[in-house]
Structure 1
Amino acid sequence: MLPVVYSMSVSLDGFIAGPGGDIGWTAPDAEQMRFHLEQTRDVAAHLCGRRLYQEMLVWETAEQTMSDEADLEFARIWRPIPKVVFSRTLNSVAGNARLATQDIGTEVRRLRDRLGGGVVAIGGAGLAAAAISEDLIDEYHQFVRPVILGSGTPYFPPLDKPLDLRLIESRTVSSQVVYLRYQRVR
């Protein structure tokens, strides 16, 4: 069964976006970008909410707007990945994306049945919160950055009960970021 992974940059105090949705502090350096490239190669499908989908649209036209080779390589990897967008306001999506027609649990089961290998990635706090509430996430990946935001969008939603996790990987990526990979203990 394909693992479902929730992966985001996170501040030291647990936020994925600062006040007003600021994510400027999450921009990867060259070493982090190489790490992201390798991880993205394993993504068989990506589920996201409207805001993250719209942020990621920049990769659809990267050749016209970017010149950095790592950015262009990411775009070449990213574009073919099937994306499922959860939105109450969008009527259409571009690229290799489709609007979700079912709830997150049904969409995850559909992808697991259809896809052969890789991981199903979930991006965005709102969608991740829905997946966490249904206990759909198998792995949590955090890129912990050395910044304290004080408030913003938390990586984890409020929980009714604890989630038992096991640390299965940790490493320093460049000199600033600690990558933590946790597996759900069921």
Structure 2
Amino acid sequence: MGRLIFAAITSIDGYTVDASGSFDWAAPDSEVHAFVNDLERGIGTYLYGRRMYETMRVWQDLPGADDHPVTADYAAIWRAADKVVYSSTLTAATTPQTRIQPAFDAAEVRSLIEASDRDVGIGGPTLAAAAFAAGLVDEVRLIAVPVSVGGGTPALPAGQRLHLDLLDERRFANGTVALRYAVLRAD
């Protein structure tokens, strides 16, 4: 059985994008990117909302001739995984191994996780908030970039209390910090 893992690159003040919707400040250097690649190797299926899918689909066409080998590695990891996109507006996928679902269904996601022999990743804080609310998320992986953006889209769901147990942390030469938490369930 797989686990549902929420992973996000976040500013030190907890946002995935700034108030203008930009995340140019979040581009990882090669050391951080290689670390993220290693974390993502265990993911067999990605769950995305429409906006996150449209952001991530660039990995279908990478790498370019001038891209770093770490970029090519991530692109291969991303292309190898299945993708489920929750959207009421998309009617067709633009990448292979991708299916469109009109709405997030917690029972369906629970069944997917239970049937999976690999972990399932959930991308994007809006979709992840629904999974947190349904009690589906097993692990949180945050890559905290040393920049404060002052507002935007929060990485973790507003209005939901989460109890987390630190499993691992790592500091990188550029000041970025990786944090890995288990989500504690209320008994």
Instruction: Tell me the TM-score normalised to structure 1 length.
Output: 0.92
Counterpart position of 1:112: 113
Counterpart of 1:165, as a letter, is L
- How many residues of Structure 1 are paired with residues of Structure 2 in the alignment? 184
Q: 1:104 to 1:27 in 2, by over 3 A?
A: farther
Q: Does 1:13 align with 2:28?
A: no
SS across alignment from 2:181: strand
Counterpart of 1:171, as a letter, is R
Q: Quote the RMSD (CA, aligned, Å).
A: 1.6
Q: Residues 67-78 of structure 1 correspond to what in structure 2 (within 5 A)?
A: 67-78=67-78
Distance in 1, Cα, partners of 2:103 & 2:151: 32
Q: Residues 1-186 of structure 1 correspond to what in structure 2 (within 5 A)?
A: 1-63=1-63, 67-93=67-93, 94-100=95-101, 103-116=104-117, 118-160=118-160, 162-186=161-185
Kindly provide the CA deviation profile for residues 107-150 of structure 1, in whole angstroms up to 9, marking residues without a partner as x. Answer: 3223224321x311100011011111111111111111111111
Counterpart of 1:138, as a letter, is D
Counterpart of 1:115, as a letter, is S
**Fraction of identical pairs, as percent:** 34
* Segment drifting more, 105-114 vs 172-181: 105-114
Q: CA deviation at 1:2?
A: 1.4
* Segment drifting more, 54-63 vs 99-108: 99-108
Tell me which stretches of 4 or more aligned residues in structure 1 moved more than 4 Å: 63-66
Instruction: Tell me the TM-score normalised to structure 2 length.
Output: 0.91
* 5+ residue gaps, structure 1: none
Contact 1:45 1:111 in 2 (8 A): no
Distance in 1, Cα, partners of 2:40 & 2:175: 21
